[in-house]
Structure 1
Amino acid sequence: MASHLSVILDLNAHQWTQLASDELSLANALPSILVFLHSHIAAAAENSLAIYVAADRTELAYDSLADDASEAPGAPDGNTYPAFRRLDTALTGAIQDAMERLANSDVEMNGSAETSSDPHATSFTSALTRALCYINRLQAPSSRILLLSASPDRAQDYVPFMNAIFSAQKLKVPIDTLQLAAHDCVFLQQATYLTGGAYVRLGDESGGGKGGGLLQYLMMCFLPPLALRAVMAVPTMDQVNLRAACFCHKKITDIGFVCSVCLSIFCQPVPTCSTCRTRFPLKTFQRLSASRMPSTTNTPAQSPAPSPAATPTRNGVPTPARSAASAPASRQPSRGVSFPFRGRGRGLPHSNGLPSSNSIGQNGRSTRDLL
């Protein structure tokens, strides 16, 4: 049965420099990756392959369907299968071009040809979106995506990344992830779990460093097609981190507040939703702000400072002043309620529920009474 595989290769120079200390440099990992790709092509004549390299921008490095009629440059080699030769030439050329482009950008920004020290992660949103568009156009019955990641999460890409995950769910395309670095990626865990893929973090069980076990992980975990996974012991995740990123500060948060209109997530109460501009009731905003204050203030207790101005009272109870961002109730065209939500953190089982495309981050909402 024909199978399509889209591979997204992370080319973050900063992360690969750190991995070089674990004997997993890009030069050492590339031969194992090529052997895995050759095995997928050789498994069946109908198998197709697409490779995307993700660096400062996403590029399609190789497309087996488009390159069938083309010949690789250079003298022909009678000892090399032509499809393997075209694949090796295209992928190594794309990697060299991407690294040279990153080096030139470092020279322009820092005035030196050294590796950039920018620790920011690679954005997989563009590569994942292009891979899904290619699969939707191909209409292959058995398609999957493999992410070879070395970067941490990018909280600012949470919304488009989740939209790509929901698109993969609709197309029934599993997203597999091989995390090469020592840290876990929250968003990639969610993508793998929600689409029914396999998430594996490269370990040191081989005894020869991470580079010695890379080929074994690729061949045993990610080479079998979807039809064979039902009868094979594919690695699964016992624990999944389903935390979300807030829309205000772009930080992964455990406890937040969800807008009842557009489901935007905020790490602290806000008078107005920044996404849909819904103004929340003033009493709800004040109550949520007051309930959050004791948990967020960790400074030692001090004597209260005198109030600079008298506070108006209502029935003997002080009433906080109305903020400038909140309008009177008569001018509010729509009212929303900011619901507290409690995200599941690291180490919690994932069997209690799943986030869906209609509710991002709602699954862990608190059971407290709300207005």
Structure 2
Amino acid sequence: MDAITERIFTETSLETTTNDDPSLLAIILDVSPQGWYNLRNTITLVDVAKSLLVFLNSHLSLNNSNQVAFLASSPLKSEFFYPHPNAKSTTVENSRISAGMYRQFKNVNEVIIEELIKFLELTSKQESLHKVNNRHSTITGAISMALTYTNRILTLDQSITTTMASAMTTASMNKSGNASSGSSGNISTTSATPMKSRILIVSASDSDDNLNYIPLMNCIFTAQKLKVSIDIAKLGFKNSSYLQQASDATNGVYLHIEDPRGIIQVLSTAFFIEPSLRPYVILPTNTQVNYKASCFLTKKPVDLGYVCSVCLCIMSKIPEDARCPACASDFDKKIIQSLLRDPQVAPKKKRKIGDIAKEDGEEPNKNGEGDLV
């Protein structure tokens, strides 16, 4: 342990480890009824929501410029809770300053609780009317919404930072009296490090069959391009191979929380570390990631299938029109015939008795040189 700590303090300087850049934390709560029903004797959705609010407040307390976002996903739809899409939310307007509580904490808590109650009531009514038990999960839509909001925040932060940097440079040059020297064309505006961002998904669903694999892979590629880590807090009794892939591909943290009653402790330790500090901390890793893919046609996991050579689309069976369902490329007919051909047993080659005798080291029988066996 001493060797690890000594190496960190000697090989890293204070400038590289100290980082007060703002950070964006987006939380996606999967409220699928089946998963939470299985955990009814252990923990409730309300208790998990309260723990997440404590986690959000802790993130806001680290830096005054930190931002948070909260989304919910159900079998019906995904929705933003905070920041509220309606800027003139009644909860925000009627929120009052309470003694001993930071106002931003109060706003976040009130908006999320109010919107969560409305969302659960609406979901229960629609499920009772339409009986949507076989709908696909909309968690990929929630990830897309979180990435879209992240991209907007990062773009806005970069433009503000660049404007402030150029204004500060111009002001410093005017103060030093070099603005009128004609060297304004050589001004170099250096912008600060952009805001860091990460996504935390809390899910209790034990089934991957209702999770769309291809939209999830598109979200993973987008998160990699934006350098957004996807953390997974998996509740329930089974691991999710698709969510494991999302976490591993984006350098996130995947944890299967066997005892959900201690979720606040897990959130405040494993998931509380900022992405900029993760290279210096030993994170819990998952070495057994199941990279099982899903069929583009049947949407089911595939152990052995076919792959399009143009777009790498995975199929469990060859389409009837002999065209790729993703890129519409025509498959080679000869290759399809060879793939669809039934296995055949090669005929056994007949050998002469004389050849067998030669292999055994004996003299061949002259009368039986032409016999076949």
Partner of 2:294: 245
CA RMSD of aligned residues (A): 2.7
Instruction: Compare the two structures and name the one with the higher helix fraction.
Output: 2
What are the superposed Cα offsets for residues 219-239 of structure 1, whole Å, 9 maximum, x if unpaired? 111111112212222111111
Partner of 1:313: none
Q: Does 1:43 align with 2:62?
A: yes
After superposition, residues 218-297 of structure 1 pair within 5 angstroms as 218-270=267-319, 271-290=322-341
Note if contact 1:158-1:245 (Cα within 8 Å) is conserved in structure 2. yes
Partner of 1:60: 80
SS in 1 for 2:212: helix
Structure 1 counterpart of 2:48, one-letter code: A
Note if contact 1:155-1:252 (Cα within 8 Å) is conserved in structure 2. no
TM-score, reference length from structure 2 = 0.69
Partner of 1:347: none
Note if contact 1:245-1:252 (Cα within 8 Å) is conserved in structure 2. yes
Query: Where does the alignment leave 5 or more consecutive residues of structure 2 unmatched?
Result: 1-19, 155-193, 346-373
Partner of 2:29: 9
Note if contact 2:201-2:233 (Cα within 8 Å) is conserved in structure 1. yes
Partner of 1:332: none
Structure 2 counterpart of 1:163, one-letter code: N
> What is the CA-CA distance between 1:81 and the residue it aligns to?
2.3
> What is the CA-CA distance between 1:289 and the residue it aligns to?
2.4
Note if contact 2:294-2:301 (Cα within 8 Å) is conserved in structure 1. yes
What stretches of structure 1 move > 6 A for 4+ residues in a row?
64-68, 291-294
How many residue pairs match? The answer is 281
Distance 2:302 2:56 in 1: 38
> What is the CA-CA distance between 1:194 and the residue it aligns to?
0.8
Note if contact 1:186-1:242 (Cα within 8 Å) is conserved in structure 2. yes
> What is the CA-CA distance between 1:4 and the residue it aligns to?
0.9
Distance 1:25 1:73 in 2: 29
Q: Does 1:198 align with 2:218?
A: no
The 1:121–1:148 alpha-carbon spacing in structure 2 relative to 1, beyond 3 Å, is farther
Distance 1:120 1:192 in 2: 24
Query: Where does the alignment leave 5 or more consecutive residues of structure 1 unmatched?
Result: 111-115, 205-209, 295-371
> What is the CA-CA distance between 1:197 and the residue it aligns to?
0.6
The 1:103–1:230 alpha-carbon spacing in structure 2 relative to 1, beyond 3 Å, is same
Computing the radius of gyration from Cα coordinates, the structure with the larger value is 2
Structure 2 counterpart of 1:107, one-letter code: S
What are the superposed Cα offsets for residues 81-134 of structure 1, whole Å, 9 maximum, x if unpaired? 221111111111111111111121133225xxxxx7x26553212111111111
What are the superposed Cα offsets for residues 272-297 of structure 1, whole Å, 9 maximum, x if unpaired? 32333333233321222236899xxx
Structure 2 counterpart of 1:274, one-letter code: P
SS in 1 for 2:233: strand
> What is the CA-CA distance between 1:47 and the residue it aligns to?
0.9
Q: Is the deviation greater in 169-178 or in 155-164?
A: 155-164
Q: % of aligned pairs identical?
A: 33
The 1:156–1:231 alpha-carbon spacing in structure 2 relative to 1, beyond 3 Å, is closer
Structure 2 counterpart of 1:138, one-letter code: I
Structure 2 counterpart of 1:147, one-letter code: I
